[in-house]
Structures are given as structure tokens and as C-alpha cells.
A and B are shown apart, each in its own frame.
Chain A
Amino acid sequence: MNAIILSAIWGVVLMFCSVLIKNKGVYRHIAALGLLVILAGNIHETYHGSFFNIDTHEMLRFSRFGLFFNTILLAATLLYVLLSGRDVEKAGGYVAEYFTLIFFVLCGASILTSFNTLLMLFIGIEILSIPLYILTGSDKRNLRSNEAALKYFLMGAFSTGILLMGIALVYGGTGSFMLEVPRSAIMGGYKGVSFLEVTGLLFLLVAMSFKVSAAPFHFWTPDVYDGAPSVFTSFMATIVKAAAFAAFLKLFEARVGDTSAAVDWKLLLSIIIVSTLLIGNVTAVFQQSVKRMLAYSSIAQAGFMLFAVFSLNDVAKEGLLLYATAYSLATIGVFAVLIKMKDVTFEGFNGLARKNPVLAATTTICLLSLAGIPLTAGFFAKFSMLSAVIKTGTYTWLVVVAVLFAAVSAYYYFRVIQAMYFKEGDAQTEEVTGGFKVLLIAVAALVILFGVQPQALLNWFYF
């Protein structure tokens, strides 16, 4: 509850800041401060309970998993603001409003980690999405940005329609919006699993797949990620996506887990996973722009995260925590560097290692983590996802497919490393400060820390 309320309040605070404070450089400090406050509030709630005593009528339920996920999201956002906050100021004219919208997104994300009814799921998803449409179009003079925003909005509206259709059908089948419904209470005492409910869940699956950009519902992703200002792409690809996954897992754990005795979801999910891995990885190979490559790579990474939804066991939950952390850290790091590049094609990175060794080295570590090379956080993240699948005991061939595609992914990540280290060139970057470099090194250090000691993160979760 703390995270939801505090982030909404801080959003409003920043709105007022845009009127009261004219100096644009101050906003990001206020935002960072706010994130610290929310983070503290959330951690306090994790161990000692909420500041606010509100009867939510079971609409929200704050579990340890959800609160810890909040912590990860908030910490990632804090890191994002510290690393790229300065670049938000360059995205457009309404800096305070952008931060406001980011805080509203966080509010939506905190709802998504704690919702207990489909109603809250819907509100959470909408609060998460609507600010993003605007952030995507924030570069108003750029046609590509406008196009991306409009596309995102149209397709997002379409997926919202599907989501609502699904919710309506589930309600029709069970007579309740709650995630967990006692089977005996379902309409008219009907015993089996309702056909309407299952169909509704299928629509929900489609809508959620759209939100996490799983194939074949991913089409908006490359266009939007590519068109949006890089600084907001970074935010969308990490924090927003992780939050959507938390919701996806929570929804399916309750509803699908409930129906899985009668209905087998695994074939459907495995089709989605394989096509996501295929399209994400294979298409990324051919890209010329690093930014667009990262958009496809985020699809590919979503394919891996879907394994959590596929397996629905404890290993998967832990794995998703680890994956969200590893993926967010590495992607924020890579994007932070990408934003500073004058040219975001692969050629633009040529010779970066000589020009700016710190940037090149930290980018390399982040890319290695994304590729899942051992001793980086990405390795254990992928590993735990795969072991979650193995633990389910079925569809173990998925593991083979996943490993093959992970190998393909190494190709396009290493292309960047190759460009930075082994190609002659004159990589142009904007001015970077010492603090920025220190932060980047910290990110790289964290990536390696979680790669050597993934328990450090998980122990904290159980503590």
C-alpha cells in the first residue's frame, strides 16, 4: 500500500514542482528523493507493515513476493533516474510532467504486484500503459516518435479490449472478479471448469502476452521502442516489462493454477514461448541499429521470462525475481550508454573501447549478462528459469530450444562488443560525467555480484 499511495502523491508533488520551480535540473533530484522515500516506505512495509491502514476488501493483497518485487522495481527506477535523469531533460519540454508520469507508472506497477481482483488488474494495467503512450510521443517534433505513440495507443487500446473481454468472460463463468474463487461458489453450483472461464483466461493470456511483448503479439514493440526517445525506451523495456510479468505470473498462478487440473495450458504457452524466442532472437540478428536490436532482444528476454509463467512453481517465482533484477540492471546499463551515443547503429560503437574504456567495459559486462554468460547475473537468471521448467517434468525439450536461442543471442550481443573492441572507428559520445561512470561501474559490479552470489539477492527475499 505504501508504494501505491506514496508514488501517487509524489507524482502530484512533481506536478506542482513544474509550476513552482523553474529550474529544470532540480526535478530529477526531487524524483530521486521521492524514489528513496517510496523505497524506504516499501521496505518498511515488507518487514513491519504499511503506514496506511486501509480496508481494501481483499481487492489488494500484499504478499512478500509482491513487496519484494516492488523493491526491485523501485530500486531499478532509482538507478534509472540517477543514470539517465539528465537525459530525461533533453527528451522534451515538460520535464516535471515526464517524471510525474514515471511515478504514476510506478503506482500502476505497485498495483500489479498486489492486485487480488481482475478489476484491480485492469486499473493497474491502464495506469501502467497510459503514461507510456504519452512518454513515447514526448519528442513532439520527431515524426517517428509521434508515429510510435499513435501506434502504441491504437494497439494498446486493442489489447485493452481483449483484456476486458477476457475479464467479462471470466466473470461470466465464475461470477466473481476475485483471483481465487472457491469452486463450490461458482454460478449455480456448477462443478466442472466453466467453458466461459477458460475462454476468458485465454483472452487474458493474449492481453498479457501483448503487454509483455510475447510473440505473436509483439508487433508494437520494435516500432515503439525504436521510435520513442531512448531514455523512455529504457524505462519501458525494463521496469514496465518486469511489472507486467509480475502481474502475468500472479494472475496465472491463481487462475490457471486453479483450472490446470482440468485444462492443460502448457502446450499453448510453449507455442508462445517458442515463437517469442524465435522471433526475438532471429530478427535481432539482422538489425543494423543497436537500439532496434535491443528492442528485439527484449522480446527474446521476455521469452525466457515466460518460462516462469509456464512452470508456475517456487523455483519460477524466485527465478523471475532474479531475472527481473538481472535483466533490468543490464538493460538500464546498456541503454544509459546508448543514450550517450551520437550514432546508435552498430557502426556508431566502433572503437568505443579506445575512446572511452569505462563505458565500453561496463557495456560489455551488461551485454554478457544479457547473453547469459556465467559469472554474470544473467547466467543464474536463465539457469533458474530453465531449472524451473525441468522441475515441472514436462516439455523438457523447451530447455534445449531455449539454450539454442540463447546461443543465437550471443551473436548479436557480441556484435556490439566486437564493434567496441575490435573495430577501428571513431565512436562519438556526448560528454559523460565522472558520477555517471561511477554509477555504471556500480551497475557492472552488481551484475557480477549477483552472478557470483545470486543467493545474496534471494536470501534477502527470504529474510
Chain B
Amino acid sequence: MSNLVFLVPLFPLLGFLINGLFRKSLSKPMIGVIGCGALLASFVVSAILFGNVAAANRLHPGQPIPATVLFDFINVSSFKIQFAFLADQLSCLFLLIITGIGFLIHLYSTSYMHEEPTEHYGRYFAYLNLFVFSMLLLVLGANYLVMFIGWEGVGLCSYLLIGFWFKNDNYNYAAKKAFVMNRIGDLGFLLAMFWLLAKLGTVDYNQVFAKTALLSKTDITAITLLFFVGAAGKSAQIPLYTWLPDAMAGPTPVSALIHAATMVTAGIYMIARSNVLYSLAECTQHVIAIIGLATALFAATIAIKQNDIKKVLAYSTVSQLGYMFLGLGVGAYTGAVFHVMTHAFFKALLFLGAGSVIHAMHHEQDIRNMGGLKKYLPKTHLTFLLGCLAIAGIPPFSGFFSKDEILAAAYAHSPIYWGIGVATAALTAFYMFRLYATTFLGNFRGTHDQQHHLHESPAAMTIPLMVLALLSVSGGFAGVPEVLGGDHQLHGWLSGVITSEKTHHLEHSTEYLLMGVSVALAVLASVFAISRYSKKPELQEATGLGKVLQNKWYIDELYDAVIVKPLLKLADVLKNVVEKSGIDGIVNGVGKFVHYSSRQLRLLQSGLVGSYILVIVLSIVVLFLVFWNQSIILQFVQKIF
């Protein structure tokens, strides 16, 4: 049955081809049906695969799932890379998340993008299907190369979709920025892959993990660090995070799918997949934990002062991703994957909710012009509130469980990590409820015209919201920790893949205390935010620290001044001085030389048979002489060199 696996990425690929090739001739409903249908089919197959893996897990616990080889990708003498898929516990979980949430977002898009002309509508769905295809490749690959193909594919689709409205130059700039930042990360990925190839001669997961003994300490540290550079680029960690907030230029469902639920978690998937390697590299783990923690805190502070509804969510995503990296850094791989799952649910929900609001407000994104939307958009309001509760970590919503697991692991590692983590959690609760209160509570502050047209979104948009809300509420029960009387099913499920999880033993009383503190802080922050912003939201320009936060700590300006401008200067010098006189000279010189010798060699071709035969005879003589004296010639050559 496991050979079904090729169907999973096949459906979106077909969807991409059909929608991409026939986008001009298909009608809008047809495009929607093809786009959504591909994802639905893919989801069904994923569910079957999931069932298979579960059955195999129960029948032969502890046995690894074999990879499915589709064909030999590269086969050069002893060097061989197969195009193989691996549908094990970890990838099946991701398959379900990608295809399930992907389907909901496709469905949502049919309504959200309805105003686009048919051709662009088709283009949108084609890109979206291509993205899902690439993401599935990334997750399904049984070696790093296949993963890298998917990795590049999602980067490309992200670029295409951020710049979907390509007539706007700013959007194009944002797309370019995302692409370049991702490429920096990809370089790390590539180098790590080459390093593995050089040392082990394979990039196949199972073989790599089986051969770790052959790698020296330095090798492992370098490889894991380079992989982490790749992950930091894709998952928007310091210092490569600035592209993600700008990526909000794309359509909102795209932000929900790519920049919240799936693509940005690719880095976490990769590290969780390579957990065997990472557990051997302590130094890298420290780096990951610290960067994750710093990103979480840093992004959370910025989110407090943002006024664009999508920007708040974007920084919140960066912050939550930082959380996941913290989990990876302290060895709580399951916790990180758990948080990926719950985050996918509630962040997709929040983005889609925000999309619904933007849709209702006619593309208004500034929350200062909203307010009091509660009565106009009841369904959106309710689901959004549930999403806020989930991300704030209020029990028993899903965010609580996953966040708590990471925090507990962080505490076992170092109480300082835990302290910063909890502070971030409180900030998260604060800015989320600030967003919620400013948007939905109080009085409407928009124009009269906008108020007149306020309406609840159609069913195609609210149904995904409701499904996601349900998941956000209940998703946490997949991993109820032991201390609360659960048995943490997710942990058992992933134990076959994540073999090097660090176990920590905290006293039950300590765990209760930790939970209590974080929940209390979150509740306090939420209540404070609601009470402060529901009545009189801050509309005036921020000053002091607030202004710094609003301008995102001036990081973009810093990058501009420290990296971009000097680079441009250097490029200028290189172009005008080094290239013009040096390189161009050499290149043109070589070209001229070839041309000159070509003209001379052409003269050999005189057209006279007699001279041809003369040259042939002379050549034979020379060949004979060389042949008989070759030992002398070789010695002579060796002496020269």
C-alpha cells in the first residue's frame, strides 16, 4: 500500500499543470474545483497513508518504515542518489497538516480571490498547487536532495505568490527580498549537503543517521550549523527574518498557507528530521536555542506596536517560530513538532480571520480604522477570539499544551530560558488581545462608506474558519502531558522517528507551578490588553520606545546601512575598476586570441588534396616518433612540471 505515496504530490502537480496551462480557457468555478479537488484527493491519500503507518506502527512497533524508491535520480558509477519518498510517522503528520489545511485554504481562496480576472485566478491556483506540490516533495523526500528540490520549489512559489500582484513595485520588492534572504539560507543547506556527500558519500536519511560514527565532532557541528543557516532563512529567524513581515504583500490566504502554516515550518521539520545529528552537536543546539529565544522575544516586542493587522500576525509568526526553535535547541523535538501542528491550526485560523476582516473592510488593513466589528462579523469574531485564546496559551486550548511542553523542556535546560519564554508568552497574549480588542471591540472608526458595506463573509470563507477553530480548540489533546493525566499520544507516535529526544524529569509539583505561572501571566496580560484597548485604542503616533518598536527596532534600516549600502559601494568599485580594466580585459583578450587562432587555423584548410595528404603523412611520421620516444617525452614533461 505504501506505493500509493507518489499519488500525494501527483495530484497537486496535475492541478498545477491543468490550471497553469488552461487558465485562459477554464471557467472560474472549474479552476476552483480543480485546485481544491487536487488537494482533497491528496488529503484522502495522505489519510490512507497515515492509517497504514498507524497500522504498521501497531503491528511492528519500533520498526522503521521503508522508503519508496521511484527511480534513480543520479547514478554515476558508485555515486547514487535515488528519487525516493519516505512516508513515516513524522512525514505523515506533516502530510495531513499540509493537505488538510491546504485544502481549507484553497476553499477559502475560491471566494477570497473571486474578484480577480479569470486568467489571474487560474494563475493563482496554479501557483498554489505548485507550492503544495513542492512542499509535499520537501516533506516526503527520503534524502536531503529531494528535500532540497522541494525546499527550492517552495521558495520559488513563495516568491511568485508574494509578488502575485506584480503591478505594484513594492510587492515585487518584497518578493525579491524574500527570495534573496531564502537564497542565503539555501546556500547553507547546499554546503551542508555537500559536506555530507564528501564525508559519507550519501545524503539518504537512514544511511546518514546510521553512519554518524564516521563523522568527527567538527564535521557534525559544521554540518548542523550550516543546515541551521538554511532553516533560519526559510523559517525567518534572526538574522534572516525580515523578509517574512514584508511577505505579507501577498494575498492573505497565501500568508496563511505559506507564511504561517507550512513553508516557514520547513526549517523545523528539517531539524526534527535530522534530530539524530543535532543531538550529537551540543554547540549547535545552544546556538539554536539562543537564536530561537532571541527571535521569539524580539519579534514579540515588535508586534506590540504594529498597526497593520497582517503585520501583527506576521511578527507573531516569527515569534512562534522562535519558540519552536527554542524547543529544538533544548532537545524537545516532539514539543517543537507539536507546536508546529497547533500553530498551523490557530495561525491559519487567525490569518484567514484577518482575511475575512480585510475582505469585509474592502482591503483596509490598518486596525486603527476598525473597531466594533463584533456585531457585523459574528462568525469571524467568534473564531478569531478562539484563535487568540489558543495562541495566548489559555487552557484547554491547543496552544497551551504545545507551548507548555516547550517551556517545561526549557526549564529543565535552564530556568533563564524558561523566564524569557514565559515573558514572551505574556507579550504574545498582550499583543494578540490588543489586536482583538482594537479590531472587534469598541466603536467603528472607519468611513461611513465602509460601514455601509460591512458584511459577513460567504460560506466558502466561514466554513474553513469554523473547521480551523474546532481544530485550534481541540488540537492540543493530541499531546496532553502525563502530569495532567494524559499519555501524550503524539510522543508515542513520533518515537520511531525522533529517537534522540532529551527526556527531562521534573517534579509534578514543579510542573504545576510552571504551568500556573505562565497561565496566570497570560490571563493577566490578556485582560489588561482588553481593558486597555477596547475603550480607547491608541490612535496617535507612538513616541519613545514605542516608536522604536513600531519601526521594528530599525532593523531594516540597519541592514540597509551595514550590509546593503557597503555592498553596493563595493559592487560599484568592482564594476568600474576591477571588471572594466581587469576581468573584461582578460575575457576579451581570450576571446580575441581564440578568434585570431581560428583565423590562422582556417588557413590549414587550403582545399588542396595534395597538401592534405602531405600533412597526414607528416602527422603519421610525428606520431611514430612520439610513440617510440614517449618515455623520453614523458620524463621531459615531468621535469618541466
Contact = CB atoms under 8 A, between A and B. Distances in A.
- Please say whether the chains A and B touch (CB closer than 8 A): yes
Interface of A: 151, 154-155, 158, 162, 202-203, 205-206, 210, 216-217, 219-220, 222-223, 264, 267-268, 271-272, 278-279, 282-286, 315, 383-384, 387, 391, 408, 411, 453, 455
Interface residues of B, number: 29
B362 interface: no
Given A202-B627, A315-B77, A391-B77, 10 more contacts: A206-B623, A216-B619, A217-B619, A219-B616, A267-B626, A282-B594, A285-B598, A384-B76, A387-B77, A453-B71
A219 B75 contact: no
B616 A455 contact: no
Contact of A222 (B75, B605, B615): B605
Nearest to A283: B601
Contact of B633 (A154, A267, A284): A267
Given A202-B624, A206-B620, A387 B601 contact: no
B599 interface: yes
B559 interface: no
Nearest to B627: A268
Nearest to B605: A222
B630 to A, nearest CB: 5
A157 to B, nearest CB: 10
A272 B604 CA distance: 17
B7 to A, nearest CB: 21
A154 B607 CA distance: 13
Contacts of B604: 219, 279
A223 B555 CA distance: 68
A408 B601 CA distance: 15
A283 B607 contact: no
B568 interface: no
A219 B612 contact: yes
A414 B619 CA distance: 33
Contacts of B634: 267
Contacts of A155: 609, 612-613
Interface string B266-304: 000000000000000000000000000000000000000
Interface in B567-615: 594-595, 597-599, 601-602, 604-605, 607, 609, 612-613, 615
Nearest to A391: B77
B601 A216 contact: no
A454 to B, nearest CB: 9
B174 to A, nearest CB: 30
B612 A220 contact: yes
Contact of A286 (B599, B609, B626): B599
B613 A286 contact: no
Given A154-B609, A202-B624, A223-B605, A282 B597 contact: yes
A283 B600 CA distance: 9
Contacts of A216: 615-616, 619
Report, nearest first, the 10 A-B pairs whose CB atoms are least far apart.
A286-B598, A219-B612, A216-B619, A285-B598, A267-B630, A283-B601, A282-B598, A154-B609, A282-B597, A268-B627
Contact of B598 (A202, A219, A283, A384): A283
Nearest to A383: B76
B449 interface: no
B541 interface: no
Contacts of A217: 616, 619
Nearest to B75: A455
Nearest to A263: B627
Tell me if A's interface is mostly helix, strand, loop or mixed. Answer: helix
B613 A158 contact: yes
B72 interface: yes
A432 to B, nearest CB: 25
6 contacts: A154-B609, A158-B613, A223-B607, A264-B630, A282-B594, A286-B602
Nearest to A199: B624
Nearest to B631: A264
Contacts of A203: 620
Contacts of B626: 267-268, 271
B178 to A, nearest CB: 26
A288 to B, nearest CB: 11
A380 to B, nearest CB: 9
A282 B598 CA distance: 5
B592 to A, nearest CB: 11
B146 to A, nearest CB: 15
Given A267-B633, A387-B77, A285 B594 contact: yes
Nearest to A454: B75
A387 B613 CA distance: 35
Contacts of B72: 455
Contacts of A411: 594
A203 to B, nearest CB: 8
Question: Residue among B594, B613, B616 with the most chain A CB within 10 A?
Answer: B616
Interface in B52-82: 71-72, 75-77
A455 B71 contact: yes
Contacts of B624: 202
Contacts of A315: 77
A395 B602 CA distance: 28
B20 to A, nearest CB: 18
A276 to B, nearest CB: 12
Nearest to B633: A267
Contacts of A272: 623
A372 B601 CA distance: 24
Contacts of A264: 630
Contact of B594 (A205, A384, A408): A408
B13 to A, nearest CB: 15
Contacts of A408: 594
A421 to B, nearest CB: 21
Contacts of B595: 285-286
Question: Residue among A210, A219, A223 with the most chain B CB within 10 A?
Answer: A219
B615 A219 contact: yes
A158 B616 contact: yes
Contacts of B616: 158, 206, 210, 216-217, 219
A52 B589 CA distance: 62
A67 B623 CA distance: 34
Nearest to A384: B76
B499 to A, nearest CB: 34
A387 B78 CA distance: 12
Contacts of A154: 609
A162 B634 CA distance: 28
B21 to A, nearest CB: 16
Contacts of A391: 77
A278 B76 CA distance: 28
A283 to B, nearest CB: 5
